[in-house]
Each structure stands twice: as C-alpha cells, then as structure tokens.
Amino acid sequence: MQKRQLGNTDMQITPVGFGSWAIGGGDWAFGWGAQDDGDAIAAIERAVELGINWIDTAAVYGLGHSEELVAKAVAGMKNRPWIFTKCSLVWDARRQMGNSLKADSIRRECEGSLKRLNVDAIDLYQIHWPNPEADLEEGWQEMARLKEEGLVRHIGVSNFSVDQLRRITPIAPVATLQPPYSMLRPAIEQTLLPYCQEQNIGVIVYSPMLSGMLSGAMTRERAANFSADDWRRNNKEFQEPRLSANLELVELLKQIGAQHGRSAGEVAIAWTLRHPAVTGAIVGGRNAAQVEGVVGAAEFRLSAEEIGLIERFIAGMPK
C-alpha cells in the first residue's frame, strides 16, 4: 500500500488508518452498542495484514477499553503499526465524562494511555477537543513537555479551528490536525484545509463515511432499530428528512463503485482522500469483514466526472 508523508513528522502513513472508536463498546456516552472483543482484535489484525500501518484510538473510547484492545491486538506483531491516541476527555468513578486541558490532567491521561497501550512512547498524542478553550495554552504547553521528555513522539490536535491553531503554534509546532470530513460535512475545505496545507500540518480526517451512513450497509430499518446505547440514534443524519436523502446518495455511490469493483464506503472514503491537504482517513471496523470492505479506498481514485456527479447530487439535497 502506498504511503504519504504526515505533515512535519518522520512518519509515512497509509492513506487509510484503522479507527477504534466503535470497538470501545456501548457502555459509555458515545458508544456504538455492544461489541465482541474477539471481533475487534480480529479487525485490527486484518487491517495490519492488509497493509494499514497506523491505528487511531483515544483514552475515552470505551473509557479505556479501546486502548486495551489495541494493545492486545498488536502485542507480538512483527511489524507493529503506529499508535495514535488522544487526551482531554476525562471521566470519573461514575463514568461521567468531562473536559480538561489542565497540565496535571493531561499528564495523568498520558500515563494512563501508556499503561493501557503497553508502550514506552505514544507515536502521536492529540488533544481531542479544544475545551475548555481558556486552557488551550496550558494544555499545549504540557503536550510539548511530554514530547520533550520522550513520552510522546509527536503532538497534534483534533477538532481545532484555524484561530485555535494560531493560538498554540507559538508554543510548539502542531504536527497534525484531526477534523471530521465527509461529502456530507465538507466545511473544512473553506479555510481549515488550505491553512494546514500552507503550514505543513498533516491532516487525518475522521468519519469519512459519516459514522456508517455512507458505508453502503445502512438501511432505514437499521437506523430505526439502533440500540439504546448507540449514540447515532439521536443524530439528524439518521433521521428524516436527511435519512432518505442520504440513502439516495448511497445508491449513487454504489453505482459509481460498481464500475470499479468498489463499495459505496470506499467511494466515500476516496472522496475525502482526493483533497491534496488530506494525508489519511480514519476508517473504523468492528470485524475483519468490515475492514476488508473498505481498505480498497486507499488505492482507489475517483475521476473528475464522478466527483462532479456526487457534488451535483449533494447540491440538491435538503439542508
């Protein structure tokens, strides 16, 4: 699988990385429902077998459980993938979540992630959300200290605006940004992606299939029957009138993909990878079969005509 330079780091990453949000399970505020741990480990193993060389996780996914599963999956691997994780979302003994960018909190989170992941250093450590915004500078200063001490190799951020990036850059360079990006969420094309390209900040986008909406596997019945612990049941993209329009878009993606032996999900991911500022896309997989169904996006390229078809369809969708 081809690789791309990740911003100003020394890492060459595959265009697709394994995302481990969903494998955290359903027992937390943003869970995706019940998850079999064996399936999760098999999904990671299959992703690496197919050439994917990075895994994106976060301490908060499953409240530590996702990181533990990543550690189990990569233990003993001859060619271990790079591991990226995140901080700033914390939880208490009652499993209630909150935000913290205080220096001591970030350090505790880092130490917890190192232990769960069973590594000496985290390849890329990211601030998950810029909240509370008043503590951005304090949080980023601590991230820089963690890098200086060798506990993390590179530092980046997620869900930051251009203004927030400008605020922290004088403290220490930002290696990477992780924003949401899909054909249904293209707003970052306006200012964020051009800024990152200009500043040589690596961009790894999340939710390129909009949390499974564009995977080709979503149906009206499935959306109506999400389990109580699946956060998507309250997302407007899985409710009318957006749901019907989104499913029609998926039919177009299936038609385009069929001409190349690709799935709708692979078309959706390839659409994000077409942008020159995007280094890689985070793609979740809850089992090996799901990974096999999307990994082809790493090599697939949409034609200008196909991109035009997609963009014209989206322009006519309800807002």
HEC letters along 37-49: HHHHHHHHHHHHH
The residues that bridge with 4 in the sheet, in sequence order, are: 13
Q: Three-state DSSP class for 7?
A: coil
H/E run at residue 163: helix 162-168
Output the CA–CA distances (angstroms, integers) from residue 176 to 71, 127, 155, in the order listed: 23, 10, 7
Active-site residue, from 61, 125, 181, 206? 61
Count CB atoms within 10 A of the CB of residue 50.
17
- Rounded to 5 degrees, φ, ψ at 130 are -85, 55
Q: What angle do CA 18, 24, 25 make, to 5 degrees?
A: 130
Q: What angle do CA 264, 268, 272 make, to 5 degrees?
A: 165
Structure tokens, 84: 């990226």
Residue 61: active-site member: yes
H/E run at residue 99: strand 97-99
DSSP-derived secondary structure for 270-319: HHHHTSTT--EEEEE-SSHHHHHTTGGGGT----HHHHHHHHHHHHTS--
Q: At what angle do helices 304-315 and 264-273 cross, to 10 degrees?
A: 100
Structure tokens, 288: 């090996």
Among all residues, which ones are annotated catalytic? Answer: 61
